[in-house]
């Protein structure tokens, strides 16, 4: 997802456009990996000195609620990345740097066959490890 797409989602849902929100979204688009709230706050502090964690977390919650960003838990803390919207896939996530790699394979057909008497509504597959850069 690009920044303009995310802004359109905000506007369509009746939320106000602000420069802070744009800058926050730009961080996600530029980083294109899982990052934590502290990293976002440090990046935002350059243009918005003293920006509070409350502001960061409020916007993270809103962006996640609108499926603009995705979240995962790494090392006991929530980390976020811009949502992938172009096609269905899963991710390998580096536990050191948060970098992600696309996994094109989806095991849901096999899982549904192995669980024939259940109704699966949604799923999310994440594979964790160490990327080649961090090894």
**Residue 131 among known ligand-binding residues:** yes
**Residue 84 among known ligand-binding residues:** no
**Residue 106 among known ligand-binding residues:** no
**Residue 39 among known ligand-binding residues:** no
**Residue 87 among known ligand-binding residues:** no
**Residue 96 among known ligand-binding residues:** no
Helical pair 3-12 and 19-31, crossing angle rounded to 10 deg: 140
Residue whose pair of structure tokens reads 């919650």 in the numeric block: 61
* Ordered strands of the 35-36 beta sheet: 35-36, 77-82, 69-74
Which residues does the annotation place in the binding site for Zn(2+)? 94, 97, 131, 134
Which residues does the annotation place in the binding site for Fe cation? 88, 123
Which residues does the annotation place in the binding site? 88, 94, 97, 123, 131, 134
């Amino acid at each position: 997802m690009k920044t303009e797409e995310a802004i359109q989602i905000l506007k369509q849902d009746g939320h106000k456009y602000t420069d802070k929100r744009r800058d926050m979204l730009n961080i996600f688009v530029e980083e294109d990996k899982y990052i934590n709230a502290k990293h976002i706050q440090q990046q935002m502090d350059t243009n918005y000195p003293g920006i509070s964690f409350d502001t960061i977390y409020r916007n993270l919650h809103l962006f996640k609620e609108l499926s603009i960003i995705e979240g995962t838990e790494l090392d006991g803390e929530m980390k976020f990345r811009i949502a992938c919207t172009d096609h269905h896939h899963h991710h390998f996530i580096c536990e050191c740097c948060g970098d992600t790699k696309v996994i094109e394979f989806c095991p849901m057909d096999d899982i549904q066959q192995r669980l024939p008497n259940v109704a699966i509504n949604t799923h999310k597959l994440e594979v964790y490890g160490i990327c080649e850069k961090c090894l």
